[in-house]
């Protein structure tokens, strides 16, 4: 694992992270709802005036939950970007342990690159 120290993050990168996190959360909730729907658990999906329950509700939940979490995750990402930037400014850095691929940084990108990698 590499230790990455985040000193700054671009808006697009922050939103990509929120998009992926919210999509994963929605898929997880959708799968849990689908499993509950298979066993006739209390799964209800409302689409307009129609209410779907049971297996059909769980199957629709696999589609509806990820879409809704991406929408709400995007809104949450928009609302939390500047507080996160303020946190980074106050804390000065955010160390994370991540497995990353090594890649070449082009000369024009070096001035914008604000991430430091340390091998552990």
Domain around 93: 2-119
The total domain count for the chain is 1
pLDDT tens for the chain, 120 residues: list them: 777 788 888 999 899 999 999 999 999 998 988 888 888 777 778 888 888 888 888 888 888 889 999 999 999 999 999 999 998 888 888 887 877 776 655 544 444 445 555 555
Residue 65: count of CB within 10 angstroms of its CB: 21
Exposed / middle / buried, residue 98 (Cβ in 10 Å: 0-12, 13-18, 19+) = exposed
């Amino acid at each position: 694992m590499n230790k990455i120290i985040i000193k700054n993050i671009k808006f697009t990168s922050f939103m990509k992270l929120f998009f992926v996190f919210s999509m994963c959360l929605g898929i997880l909730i959708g799968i849990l709802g689908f499993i509950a729907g298979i066993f006739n658990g209390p799964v209800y999906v409302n689409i307009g005036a129609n209410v779907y329950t049971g297996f059909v509700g769980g199957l629709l939940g696999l589609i509806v939950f990820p879409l809704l979490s991406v929408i709400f995750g995007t809104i949450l990402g928009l609302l939390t970007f500047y507080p996160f930037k303020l946190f980074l400014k106050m804390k000065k850095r955010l160390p994370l342990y991540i497995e990353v691929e090594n890649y070449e940084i082009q000369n024009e990108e070096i001035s914008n690159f604000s991430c430091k990698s340390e091998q552990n």
